[in-house]
Amino acid sequence: MTASFAAPQTDGAVSAAFIEKRPLEQYVAPDKPSLVGLTRDALAVALGTIGVPERQQRMRVQQIWHWLYVRGAQDFDAMTTLSKELRAELARHFTAARPEVVAEQTSVDGTRKWLLRLPGETDSRPCEVECVYIPETDRGTLCISSQVGCTLNCTFCHTGTQRLVRNLAAGEIVGQVVLARDRLSDWQRAASPNGEGDKRLVSNVVMMGMGEPLYNFEAVRDGLNVVADGDGLSISKRRITLSTSGVVPNIARAGEEIGSMLAISLHAVTDELRDQLVPLNRKYPLRELLDACRNYPGVSNARRITFEYVMLKGINDSLVDARALVRLVKGIPAKINLIPFNPWPDTQYECSDWEQIEKFSEVIFNAGYASPVRTPRGRDILAACGQLKSATEKLSARERLALRAMAMTD
Ligand code: SAH
Ligand code: SF4
């Protein structure tokens, strides 16, 4: 965190830039767009533009959908249920491209991280995001990104320190899932129609990579609806979790239009502290955030909200905090995830001592909540929470300044 985003010391007007940055807007799409990630409606429109008659569009969409999302086809040649002419016409105008992988790393614990290159902005410099696969005994979770960098500036988060922000398109969100299935040879494994006994490696998706998903609402909604589609990638909404730092006005909308599981990055139990850790709290304070959780469509004991709480030594980890946390979420069907802080270079925070995390967890457990401590994964490849920060950061100071001036409001 550099001085320009340090918390203001006085109670005076808070600089808007401290709370949120504005994403770059001029996204330069490739000449030949990829069909990966289009909604069914958008796909039908795309087919219309190359002359597929309206009465055929539904059927063609269904066929292409199957090839893209069940069979994992990477080009139109593979789509043998389509006529040769249509395949050639598709290839003339579109691709089935995924985001380009520029680096792949595998951790000693099996976690895999891909650095993905996406088309750049007006200066044509490409953007990079990271995507992480975390294998566990009973599931495989893919952690995907919603933005390059993040619009917000949480002080404990490495991604938040990245200056350059661009929203991902829906296709780039879906592209991360498709790409992971490619790299893990997951297409060939059996999926079961009801999700039970599924042998696929990518069984769950969490939107907990780079970015604040509710600040890129439409693309995240469209992308996740494609990921959940039962005739395609088929990852059910109960296995998709969207994590937000608390964009209150979009929480109800997420429930209605996406309907995934919800996770809230809480991290503090008083507004005073949360204002410092998650500056967005100044805009949407705790009371409003918790009300939005209470009213989240579909919330029930079977569909609990996860509250994420990063353990910061001497900051938010006292037992007084633990008891206040229990009181705060009272009445909301909740799970509480304690996340050991993952340190990054120059951070001002430290991870709580293990003993303290255990004591904290016990208070929560005794109050009747499961309180799993999220085991840090992939630490050796810097893939754990809040450490996703791409090579975009490797710009020279002058280049960064110029781009920042374009990107940000003060
Ligand atoms: N922007 C969204 C989703 C991405 S962050 C959000 O904030 O919810 C995913 C989770 O990792 C969040 O709970 C975030 O607060 C947490 N996190 C960020 N930096 C971290 C760090 N250095 N150590 C541990 N958890 C961190
Ligand atoms: Fe953005 Fe989430 Fe990091 Fe906050 S914790 S800066 S919202 S990615």
pLDDT, tens digit (0-9, with 9 covering 90-100), for 368-386: 887 777 666 665 555 555 5
Pick from 316, 369, 304, 306: which is nearest to 340 by CA? 316
Cβ 213 under 6 angstroms from ligand 2:
no
Residue 27 confidence (pLDDT): 67
Output the residue whose Cα is nearest ligand 1's atom 4.
Answer: 208
* Residue of 143, 150, 293, 385 marked catalytic: 385
**Tokens 């069914």 identify what position?**
40
φ, ψ for residue 357 (rounded to 5)?
-60, -40
Quote the tokens at residue 394: 């490797």
Residue 72 confidence (pLDDT): 96
Whether the Cβ atoms of residue 245 and residue 193 lie closer than 8 Å to each other: no
Angle, helices 54-69 vs 40-49, to 10°: value is 120
Active site residue 218: no
Instruction: Compute the Cα dihedral for 230, 233, 236, 242 and give only its sign.
Output: negative
Dist. CA 259–CA 229, nearest whole Å:
12
219 pLDDT tier (thresholds 50, 70, 90): very high
217 pLDDT tier (thresholds 50, 70, 90): very high
Listed ranges 255-269, 327-341, 392-406; the one with the highest mean pLDDT: 255-269
Cβ 342 under 6 angstroms from ligand 2:
no
Beta bridge partners of 392: none
- Give yes or no for residue 194 having a pLDDT over 90: no
SS3 call for 295: coil
Ligand 1 pocket check: which of 205, 308, 309, 387 to mutate, most ligand atoms within 8 Å of Cβ? 308
Dist. CA 6–CA 275, nearest whole Å:
12
Residue 407 confidence (pLDDT): 33
SS3 call for 339: strand
Instruction: Tell me the per-residue pLDDT of 392-401, one tens digit each, with 9 for 90 and over.
Output: 444 334 333 3
- Residues listed for the chain: 410
Dist. CA 388–CA 383, nearest whole Å:
6
Active site residue 385: yes
In degrees, to the nearest 5, what angle opens at C-alpha 342 toward C-alphas 386 and 308?
Answer: 65
Burial of 289 (0-12, 13-18, 19+ CB in 10 A): buried
Residue 378 confidence (pLDDT): 60
- For ligand 2, the distance from its centroid to the CA atom of residue 287, given in whole angstroms, is 20
Residue 381 confidence (pLDDT): 58
Region 283-303: mean pLDDT is 95
CA–CA distance from 389 to each of 76, 162, 384 (Å)? 34, 7, 11
**Considering the chain, what percentage of its residues have pLDDT values greater than 70?**
82
- For ligand 1, the distance from its centroid to the CA atom of residue 35, given in whole angstroms, is 31
pTM: 0.88
User: What per-residue string of b and e applies to 140-179 under the rule 16 or more CB within 10 Å gives b?
Assistant: bbbbbbbbbbbbbbbbbbbbbbbbbbbbbbbbbbbbbbbb
Which element (helix H / strand E) includes 56? helix 54-69
Lining residues, ligand 1, CB within 6 Å: 150, 154, 156-158, 208, 211-212, 243-245, 265, 308, 310, 339, 341-342, 385-386
Ligand 1 pocket check: which of 129, 146, 156, 242 to mutate, most ligand atoms within 8 Å of Cβ? 156
Dihedral (Cα; 148, 152, 158, 159), 10-degree rounding: -10
Q: Which atom of ligand 1 is nearest to the CA of 349?
A: 22
Closest ligand to 339 CA?
1
In sequence order, what are the residues at sequence separation of 6 or more whose Cβ sits closer than 8 angstroms to the Cβ of residue 54? Answer: 48
Residue 369 confidence (pLDDT): 86
Output the residue whose Cα is nearest ligand 2's atom 8.
Answer: 211
Q: Which atom of ligand 2 is nearest to the CA of 245?
A: 7
Cβ 150 under 6 angstroms from ligand 2:
yes
CA–CA distance from 267 to each of 131, 252, 307, 324, 346 (Å)? 23, 21, 8, 12, 20
